[in-house]
Amino acid sequence: MKFKLLTFFPLLILLTSSFNTPAYQLARLKYSGGGDWYGNRTALVNLAAFCNQNLRTNFAPEEAVTEAGSPEIFNYPFVYMTGHGNVVFSAQEAQNIRRYLIGGGFLHIDDNYGLDKYVRVQMKKVFPELSFIELPANHPIYNEKFKFPNGLPKIHEHDGKRAQGFALLWEGRIICYYTYECDLGNGWEDFGTYPGDTAEKRSNALKMGANLVSYVLTH
């Protein structure tokens, strides 16, 4: 399923939400450089199930994996990227991601601790003219079905820093959302995967993830 005109996607949701056959998938980005792109292994499966239950979406129960330079990326309205280490986009991969995002796609980058210094440089290859801006707590992305009056919730502790949600904007639309000092995907994983997991943190993580999906598919 191609979606080069993503204005059709909200309609697609309405047309397929009652069908038994899944209409689309959440996808994980596979990238080069040696970083663990495969981290948070159960995150997308759990997020898809939560969204299907609470947003009445129709995601497949399993995640998809798409490579940064592959045309298959255009099959997915929501692509998730995570890891702890190095990231490298080739010129072709950067151009492919750029076309995907300008064409209506969405990339969620979730720093799993250690990704920040690499991914910011690589996203400059994709959009040299854009810079990440921090979204205010009153932004609509924090006020979809689930309300977060203080902005991005803190899920996993590293350095005692506050959680921050950054965005790249293209013609006023969020094309990339970057969660930093938060580890949102850790909270999507099976409960008890990490020390310090609590039911409240996991609930907040899944609700925030559902807000992202809702925002992407309706904006």
Model pLDDT for residues 187-202, shown as the tens digit of each residue = 999 987 777 789 999 9
| Terminal-residue alpha carbon distance, the chain | 19
Note the pTM of the prediction, 2 decimals: 0.90
Domain carrying residue 181: 6-218
In this structure, is residue 158 part of a structural domain? yes
In this structure, is residue 17 part of a structural domain? yes
Domains in the chain, number: 1
Rg of the chain over Cα atoms, rounded to whole angstroms, equals 16
21: burial class by Cβ within 10 Å (0-12, 13-18, 19+)? exposed
Q: Determine the average pLDDT of the residues in 174-192.
A: 94
pLDDT in the model for residue 103: 96
In this structure, is residue 1 part of a structural domain? no
For 148, the 3-state DSSP assignment is: coil
Residue listed under structure tokens 């920040």? 116
CATH number of the domain where residue 36 is located: 3.40.50.12140
How far apart, in Å, are the Cα atoms of 143 and each of 148, 152, 163? 6, 11, 17
Which stretch of 81-90, 150-159, 207-216 has the lowest confidence by average pLDDT? Answer: 150-159
In this structure, is residue 212 part of a structural domain? yes
Could you tell me if 110 and 40 are in contact, meaning their C-beta atoms sit under 8 angstroms apart?
Answer: yes
Q: Determine the average pLDDT of the residues in 52-78.
A: 97
